[in-house]
Amino acid sequence: EGRDPFIKRRVAIKICSSAEEDVRQRFYSEAEIVGNLEHKNITPVHDFGLEDGVPYLVQEYLTGEDLDHMIERRDPLALGRKLDILAQVVDGLNYAHEQGVIHRDVKPGNVRILEDGRVKIMDFGIAKLKDHKSSLTRTGTTVGTAAYLPPEQIRGQATDHRADVFSFGVTAYELLAARRPFEAPTLAAMLYKILGNE
């Protein structure tokens, strides 16, 4: 948490302290991609820079909490409120897709519910631009969180906006049913179910 002394507002400062080149490239990529997205349901980036060789992002400071915490606690949300949350996520994703951006890590932990009820999609760290060959992910490597990965991402195949639609579907299922559609005791079993089960 920080404070912009000129505009006099609270901000969130995200830094990349890793010396690993691929991690830093993901950070730069996130700054470039999100810095060009302007939508009420996407966390905006206000600034990007280097301080003593450490890259940083300055983003909107978000109140409230992540959707995954609300699901874990089984907060008694009315159906209408759940649908409103999901509709706001859809609005943000639809805008990103129209700009050619694929999030690739849609999950409740990347959805923030603000104190005033607004919803923000966060963490575009592994996002990619449509039709853009990313050197950040080698062929055959998966990125994202296992339970929300679409089959093509698990297989290491090319992804498009439909990957986000799948992950959004898993998120919606979990919010509405209080459990995930694919559950298993091990990562391998989880991925097997996603690939093979309806």
Active site amino acids: 105
Distance CA 180, CA 165 (A): 15
Give me 190's structure tokens: 């989880």
Q: Are 13 and 57 in contact (CB under 8 A)?
A: yes
Q: Please choose, from the candidates 14, 31, 30, 58, the residue with its C-alpha nearest in 3D space to the C-alpha of residue 127.
A: 30
- In degrees and rounded to multiples of 5, residue 174 shows phi and psi of -65, -40
